[in-house]
A and B are shown apart, each in its own frame.
Chain A
């Protein structure tokens, strides 16, 4: 028998305290889990509604129309369609009037409402492809007008819905959404112009902000003397990262457009402005990554006689690169989704053709989304959601690439 007097650890008085500690831990875990679940639910809600609404934007309603070309009023020489002037010949032929007549003839009063800009464009393309169509009567599947498209998706004018119900129609993937640009007619708009503008803008941002940011971080962390000036610079950079983005837009407007006279609405100016905004983020992330490189690696390189420069570029930079890339991803993702500064430098203009270079007028995806969300035409609603999906996919791809690069450069020590 153990005859020792009970201590506070054996007489049960501590048990209550211990139980309390465990309860606190369980509570904390529960709240953490609840927070994570809530945010996951919001994310899922966002993605699902977006996919639900946006999916329609990638499809279009097509109407079957039979056109008897020889009998119509259309005056079009098949020979003219084979030359380089074909687009001009189609434009001058008055296809829209002919289509309207054919539609009224087939669908009755108001039948012209079912066809719009996209129908004309598709018919023109078909004719250039196959001029022999002009010699006979053909049945054609033509994309419906924006109104009819909305009606076909069950959300439009009841009169048009009724009209559409009487016709032979179907839903098909919209091949032009990814290849065409902004337009006033919702049935012919596409995302390609904005996507290309985004690509060019981000390219300019990346090419400027990444090297300048990384080199600044390296210089400040490894070479700069510690004095009042470097302290001032450090504080300024930290403050810059917190400046509202629209201020950068104003800065871009004042410096790049008014002072330097660079072309308005161009990806070049957009990229420069976003680079101003992104650089501080990269500098801060870069400095953190550089400081976290263990000093023993620096010592090791110095002790075999590496110069400061060799230490930095052979050892510090490669080891800091994963961290720098993480910071760059965050900065780039922010730049990619930025709208406000780009509005200030004129990238909200109506741009109906994709930019050919970084100095041509362009718009970017977030601004395009903003512009479409402002449109009165109901056809733009699902186009907006579809554009958001494209933007999110673009972001995912960029982040995926960055994560791949980061893992490739990741080294253990």
Chain B
């Protein structure tokens, strides 16, 4: 706890929301938070994150209970082995980034975490993934509940072709989270606020979600994921279809959401991984090559392949 005063995430205008987020975080987790100071609220903005290292020892996150753990995950598409034994821990107050070249299995792994691979008939997953110590592939775990607890945002913004309101209200409605219209309205407003879309969308809630711009659509998708009150949010290259300004907004949003939800993001963009995450896993050819603090992966990788990738030798 070396830097408590620097808790405020950048950029500056969102301090109020961030403070609220910190408060909410304490409530939802029911205990003292171990925030990882990661940014300095100085003039540097989103693009210049400074990584502070709270655990100087070599091994990270040793005595903390992870939100999700994956052990020895293999995924087969027919005969092809897409993932060759992946072990990873995901912590609920961290943003975990998966980086790696195309086809390395990072999206496949992400889709294992909420069992979206179930929808691909040819895919077969082995190994154990636990959410709060509970095996998500066991018969006791209901896949519908799992996906409500582990939300997902996709590469291409995919709002339903319905109104903005209906997009956000859909999840709470099917899960019966709201008693009556007013409560549903509150959930919609809260979710849109958290996704940073309320000011732009409040006067056009009845308009189609597909009429929004790409960046707004992606934030609508994030609002839709938030609305069912998930514990983990998986983001599969959420900015790859967006322009730099919309990307910056999403990244800012990830900063604000961190702590409230465990966030896992797949990205092609290494600068983005460096900007938004505290933990990074590097995937290559179906293997997880290296997992560690983002600061270490980018400044002092242990593996040669990681070094080659982040220095742009391939990928």
A-side interface residues toward B, CB under 8 Å? 225-226, 294, 296-307, 310, 314-315, 319, 411-413
Contacts and interface: CB of A to CB of B under 8 A. Distances in A.
A412 B147 contact: no
Interface stretch (B84-92, B150-158, B263-271, B289-297): B150-158
Contact of A319 (B144, B161, B225): B161
Nearest to B167: A300
A164 B225 CA distance: 84
B161 A413 contact: yes
A305 B116 contact: no
Nearest to B208: A412
Contacts of A307: 144, 174
A297 B160 contact: yes
Given A226-B121, A300-B159, A305 B174 contact: yes
Contacts of B28: none
A310 B210 CA distance: 21
A306 B161 contact: no
Given A296-B154, A299-B154, A304 B171 contact: yes
B175 interface: yes
A22 B145 CA distance: 61
Given A310-B174, A412-B161, A305 B119 contact: no
A302 B228 CA distance: 12
A231 to B, nearest CB: 14
A81 B165 CA distance: 69
Nearest to B115: A302
A299 B227 CA distance: 16
A273 B58 CA distance: 77
B interface, how many residues as a size bin? Answer: 20 to 34
B276 interface: no
B76 interface: no
B119 A302 contact: yes
5 contacts: A299-B158, A304-B148, A305-B171, A306-B174, A310-B174
B197 to A, nearest CB: 16
A304 B116 contact: no
B161 to A, nearest CB: 4
Most buried by A among B174, B208, B221: B174
- Chain B interface helix/strand/loop/mixed: helix
Given A226-B121, A307-B144, A413-B161, A300 B154 contact: yes
A321 to B, nearest CB: 12
B225 A304 contact: yes
Interface of B: 114, 116, 119, 121, 144-148, 151-154, 156, 158-161, 170-171, 174-175, 208, 210, 221, 224-225, 227-228
B119 A298 contact: yes
Contacts of B224: 300, 304
Contact of B116 (A294, A297, A302, A310): A302
B94 to A, nearest CB: 21
- Chain A interface helix/strand/loop/mixed: helix
A218 to B, nearest CB: 16
B195 to A, nearest CB: 14
A179 B182 CA distance: 56
B158 A305 contact: no
Contacts of A226: 121
Most buried by B among A296, A301, A305: A305
Contacts of A305: 144-148, 171, 174-175, 228
A311 B153 CA distance: 17
A303 B225 contact: yes
B78 to A, nearest CB: 13
Nearest to A225: B121
A165 to B, nearest CB: 69
Contacts of B156: 296
B226 to A, nearest CB: 10
A302 to B, nearest CB: 6
A-B complex: 6 closest residue pairs judged by Cβ atoms: A305-B148, A304-B171, A296-B158, A303-B152, A413-B161, A305-B147
B147 A303 contact: yes
A47 to B, nearest CB: 39
B212 to A, nearest CB: 13
Given A299-B116, A412-B210, A304 B170 contact: yes
A283 B145 CA distance: 33
A302 B154 contact: no
Nearest to B172: A304
Contacts of B221: 300
A188 to B, nearest CB: 55
A303 B116 contact: yes
A302 B161 contact: no
A297 B224 CA distance: 13
Given A296-B154, A412-B210, A413-B210, A302 B160 contact: no
A226 B158 CA distance: 27
Contacts of A310: 174
